[in-house]
Structure 1
Amino acid sequence: MNIILIFLLLCYNITGGLLPDPNLPGSFFVQMAIAYATGFIVPCYFPFYVYKAFGLEKMKFHAFKGVFLFLLLPYILFVLTFAVTNDLNKAKDLLVLPVAYALWVIYTLGKAIRHKYHNTFHSYDSREEITVLLFSLTPWVGLPIIDFLNLGQAVEASVTNTGFLLLLGLHVKRHIRQLREEHQKLIDSEQRLMNWNTSLQKEVAKRTKELERINEQKTTTFVNLAHETKTPLTLINNYLEEYISKNGTSDEMNIIKRNMDKLSHDIINFFDLERFNKGMVVYNHDLVSNFSEILKDALILFREFGKKRKIEIHGKVEDDVYLKADPVAIIRVVNNLIENAIKFSNDDCIIEVVLQTQDDQVFFSVKDCGIGIPPEMHKKVFEPYYQIANLKRNTQGMGLGLPIVKKVVDDLNGEVKLESDPKMGPGTTITVALKKHVLAIGEEVLAINQSKKPLAPMPDVGIKENVYDATKPAILVVEDNTAMVNYLIKKLSECYNVFAALNGNDALKKIKTLPVLPDLIISDVMMDKVDGYTFVRILSNDPSYSHIPFIFLSAKSTRDDKLQGLRLGAIDFIQKPFSFQELAGKISSILAHAGKQKRAVLSSALNALAGPDNTRLRSTTDDFEKNCKLYHLTTREKDIAKLICEGYKYKEIGDTLFISERTVTKHVQNIFEKVDVSNKIELINRLEG
């Protein structure tokens, strides 16, 4: 806008100063038309300029309509009159209209200024701006008046240019003031932002400190709790060993002892890791250890243990390898690495353990025969409590073995290297590099006797299922801990046929090979390959299995976990640790309820088949029930007998009750023996007579 104003001002001064001039091209008419044109155009622009630049809302009509009607249109009439009459004075008579309009514009300008500044009229800045606007704009708007009165070019140029300079000065000052205000606002905003950032940083620091304090309290509470368990664990373990030495061992005692040792092992790992994290001294590395002897002793123990899964441990151990390290720390490294290798290896394979030196370095490596660890997880497995989901086993610990190894090795300024990639092939190799110690003459080597068993012994991996009994309901147990599976099989097999699988994937395969469909499924949630939630979701989508009642038995204990299990269709969600009496009561109740439902459906179907003659059917049914009780038929046998009486074939009975035809045949043989008959006709007469 300022550029346009300056351009118009230049045009006005040039044309007003030069024209008319006989030495310039163009006739007198053309030169005067151009000179008067600039004198009209500049006043036409000023209403628009003050409307936009100074926000004078009252000037809107003149900015967009008035100047065209009362300035440009009279100018066109002025030019036409001058062209026709060739008399400039007659043409000037037409300037009466622009002169009157100029007075109107000046009056409106005053009103516009008063309207804008009515609330700030008494301030110095406002009065200064009002005065300058009036003195600077009035001459320009009144140009037609000056031309009409023939006041001369000098007066016209002096008055208008003075007004322009005043207007320009006012606009520059106003612009500078706006810049200063915006700059101050920017400074204030920046200050507020800095204050906000400072407050935010303080709040974040305060919250972080609070969270650290809460976390420290939780950790301390957990450590104290774990510490308090060490004494009772020690007492229980000692009394248990004393009892075993006096009275001998048994399967139950072995399970208790094995799980006690595992719990003690996890507690020790937890304590060591927390002491490492707090910067406490855990081991005395001023001692000298014989790495070779420690590893040889460990291999003897672990080889015996690996035989249960047909795992061979091949050891290549260099003699007289010494380290400046606490022997207990070296034992922890050896036991954790070999124990992990056994845990995550497949059955019937070979684990390679190597100890060798090269220059001043000692290299200890363990290579397992498991599925391997993806490269993106190599760093994560050394983080505390991290566990690879697809490697979950029933011997899974707390995820502290490898972090303990890493802490010990770092404490000795050594290095741990992991090599594994399932895409390239199975197996994982973990190598520990430590600085070799040269034994000085007379230097003492601390002798540490290892326990006669590994720190966390591996449980038996076999599942001991009982022989199928067609007279008992069937239960499928899906649990990845073999000790828990065998416990449930032993306790439940007195009343039920108990089948077992170690994960959801195995269960999906096994359920298709069972002699009878399970009457109930009990499943863990956290399992390898296919977890419990996925397992029940797959079964619920299969019409052949969707009717089977389902119970979750899991260590997961949050409300969301339970709700998720129930939403998937489970009858109940029992949390570990649990009471077996409670579990047995729920199983009995669920199976009894399921039996009632089956009998109700069967009775409804039979009543529907009987049609109007249902009185006789009820009488027959009553006799049938009494006779079944008389001959001590089980619930399943009663259902089969009822279908035989209705003329169903063995295959149709199996389809109706979701059991195999072979199972139906075996039940029928038992029914014949109890009722003392040899064929269906005799059975029907005996039960319905």
Structure 2
Amino acid sequence: MHIVTFVFTLLECAMFCVQLALYLIRPADRHRRYFLVLIGLLIVYNITGGLFPDLAIPIPVHIQNIIAYGTGFLTAAYFPYYFYRVFNLRLLRFHALYGVPLFLLLPFLLFFVISYAWHKDLWLAIRYGVVVPFYYSLVLLWAILRAIRVAYRENRNKKRYMEEILMYLAVAPWSAMTLIAYFDLGQLTEALFTNLGFLVITALFISRSVTLSRAEQRQLDNLRQLTMDTEVIRMNCAREMLTPRETEIAVLLCHRLKRREIADKLFISGRTVDKHSENIFVKVGVTSREELLAKLNTPS
């Protein structure tokens, strides 16, 4: 196994463990589930591509080649499905569900499994087995780029424009996979193309996850504000022995007013707001606004 492939595999194994832990915490996160499948396929692809074929391994060479090429075809086949599901690229539905099985997986089954297992000529399998996938990869590349363009046509801004560019960069390396297989450009070239594209996908996934998490937090904050009972907060402030001024500030803190807004509303300085806030947190026994709201907004 080439050292570059080995390093990428280690990094992806570590990433898989982290993402799996996060998924177990929130098993309803289907985007993370799709991402875990992609990482798992890439890890298996790197391992089999890095180790096979090897005469020292007690597996027939033609079986090793079938496994190695099979993981590559399977990973490439999952790629359009991943983009279709995670980024909601509706124009990819046909390719993700029907085109890939017909024009990628079926040629692999015919030429690399059935035919190659019979004649044992790898070059013959590569020569004819990647013809249809090569031309289809061009069609698929165009379809993915078009789907990305259509999806980002509306509501364009700088952030979404950068995300669109990243998606183009993520797609581009995979379009060359059939050429790499046909010309046998070596493990290093193959590892760089596939894994660098995956790193871009990872950046996209993290960016999308952060955006979704922030949106969920905003929804949660709005829900808390809708269910907020000021009278309950005041009663709990009295129970916690807060002064009248501290009670006023505690209520405004729970309503998520900023430091400057509280100071302007109560005609006091920002430093005074900070001092009262520290006293409130100490008396109530909390360390953040979220904890303060949770404790003061709960009926006794």
Q: Which residue of 1 aligns with 2:153?
A: 118
- Displacement after TM superposition at 1:78 (Å): 1.6
2:129 is the alignment partner of 1:105: no
The Cα offsets for residues 643-669 of structure 1, whole Å up to 9 and x where unpaired, read as xxxxxxxxxxxxxxxxxxxxxxxxxxx
Which whole-Å deviations, capped at 9, do the CAs of 1:432-480 have from their partners, x for residues lacking one? xxxxxxxxxxxxxxxxxxxxxxxxxxxxxxxxxxxxxxxxxxxxxxxxx
Question: Post-superposition shift, 1:47?
Answer: 1.1
Instruction: Give the whole-Å Cα distance in 2 for the aligned partners of 1:105 and 1:189.
Output: 43
Equivalent-residue separation in structure 1 for 2:135 and 2:97 (angstroms) = 18
Return the alpha-carbon distance in structure 1 between the equivalents of residues 155 and 131 of structure 2: 37
The equivalent residue for 2:71 is 38
Q: What letter is aligned with 1:91?
A: A
Q: 1:42-61 maps to which residues of 2 (within 5 A)?
A: 42-61=75-94
1: CA distance between counterparts of 2:203 and 2:219?
24
Amino acid at match of 2:110: L
Q: Deviations over 1:282-330 (max 9, x none)?
A: xxxxxxxxxxxxxxxxxxxxxxxxxxxxxxxxxxxxxxxxxxxxxxxxx
Distance 2:43 2:207 in 1: 22
User: Is the 1:37–1:75 Cα contact (8 Å) retained in structure 2?
Assistant: yes
Question: 2:171, 2:111 → 1: CA distance?
Answer: 24
Counterpart selection for 1:174 from 188, 205, 208? 208
Contact persistence 1:103–1:142 (CA under 8 A)? no
SS at match of 2:74: helix
Cα distance in 1 between the residues matched to 2:64 and 2:110? 17
Letter aligned with residue 69 of structure 2: Y
After the TM superposition, which residues 143-154 of structure 1 pair with which residues of structure 2 at under 5 Å, given as runs? 143-154=177-188
Tell me which residue corresponds to 1:523: none
Distance in structure 2 (CA, Å) of the matches to 1:104 and 1:138: 13
Which TM-score applies when normalising by structure 2? 0.62
Structure whose residues are more often strand by fraction: 1
CA separation in 2, counterparts of 1:134 and 1:146?
A: 19
Give the corresponding residue for 1:76.
Answer: 109
Structure 1 Cα separation of the partners of residues 197 and 205 of structure 2: 12
Deviation at 1:153, TM superposition (A): 1.3
Cα separation, 1, equivalents of 2:87 and 2:213: 15
Q: How far apart in 1 are the matches of 2:175 and 2:209? A: 23
CA RMSD of the aligned region, Å?
1.9
Q: Matched residues in 2 for 1:126 and 1:55: separation?
A: 14
Question: In structure 2, what is the equivalent of residue 96 of structure 1?
Answer: 131
Give CA-to-partner distance per residue, 1:412-440, whole Å, 9 cap, x none: xxxxxxxxxxxxxxxxxxxxxxxxxxxxx
- Output the amino acid matched with 1:97: V
1:336-361 CA distances to partner (integer Å, 9 max, x unpaired)? Answer: xxxxxxxxxxxxxxxxxxxxxxxxxx
- Residue type of the alignment partner of 1:118: R
Q: Equivalents in 1 of 2:145, 2:161: separation in Å?
A: 13
Q: How many residues align?
A: 198
Q: Residue 20 in 1 paired to residue 44 in 2?
A: no
> In the alignment, which residue of structure 2 is the partner of 1:10?
43
Give the equivalent residue in structure 2 for 1:64.
Answer: 97
Q: CA deviation at 1:127?
A: 1.4
AA at the equivalent of 2:189: V
Give every structure 1 segment of 4 or more consecutive aligned residues whose post-TM-superposition deviation is greater than 4 Å: none
Residues 157-556 of structure 1: pairs in structure 2 closer than 5 A: 157-194=191-228, 197-198=229-230
Question: Per-residue deviation at 1:185?
Answer: 2.1
Q: Distance in 2 between matches of 1:184 and 1:102?
A: 41
CA distance in 2, matches of 1:120, 1:160: 31
Higher helix share: 2
Q: Distance in 2 between matches of 1:124 and 1:156?
A: 32
Q: 2 CA distance for matches of 1:10 and 1:186?
A: 36
C-alpha displacement of 1:191: 2.1
TM-score (norm 1): 0.28
The runs of 5 or more residues in structure 1 that have no matched partner are 202-689
Q: Match of 2:261?
A: none
Following superposition, the deviation at residue 52 of structure 1 comes to 0.9
C-alpha distance in 1, partners of 2:212/2:86? 12
Which one-letter code corresponds to 1:29 in the other structure?
H
Aligned partners of 2:68 and 2:200: how far apart in 1?
24
Distance in 1 of aligned mates of 2:52 and 2:155: 45
Partner of 1:236: none
Identity of aligned residues (%): 38
Q: Post-superposition shift, 1:189?
A: 2.7
Code of the residue aligned with 2:217 in structure 1: it is H
Amino acid at match of 2:179: I
Distance in 1 between the 2:177 and 2:58 partners? 26
The equivalent position to 1:85 in structure 2, one of 119, 128, 133, is: 119
Tell me which amino acid in the other structure corresponds to 1:67: V
Aligned equivalents of 1:147, 1:135: Cα separation in 2? 20
Deviation of the 1:25 alpha carbon = 1.3
Deviation of the 1:198 alpha carbon: 4.8
Partner of 1:26, secondary structure, is coil
1:69, CA displacement in angstroms? 0.2
Q: Counterpart of 1:591? A: none
Give 1:141 deviation, angstroms: 4.7
Specify the alignment match of 1:136 in structure 2: 170
Once residues 184 and 75 of structure 2 are traced to their aligned partners in structure 1, the CA distance between those partners, rounded to angstroms, is: 18
Shift of 1:33: 0.6
Alpha-carbon contact 1:43-1:141 (below 8 Å) kept: no
For 1:119 and 1:151, how far apart are their aligned partners in 2?
Answer: 40
Distance 1:85 1:149 in 2: 20
Amino acid at match of 1:110: L
Give a deviation string over 1:466-525, Cα, whole Å, max 9, x none.
xxxxxxxxxxxxxxxxxxxxxxxxxxxxxxxxxxxxxxxxxxxxxxxxxxxxxxxxxxxx
- Residue 63 of structure 1, CA deviation: 1.1
Give the whole-Å Cα distance in 2 for the aligned partners of 1:2 and 1:157. 19
2:85 and 2:54 map into 1 onto residues whose CA distance is 37
Higher Rg: 1
- Give distance in 1, aligned partners of 2:183 and 2:161: 31
Task: Give the superposition deviation at 1:149.
Answer: 2.8
Matched residues in 1 for 2:223 and 2:56: separation?
A: 63
Partner of 1:288: none
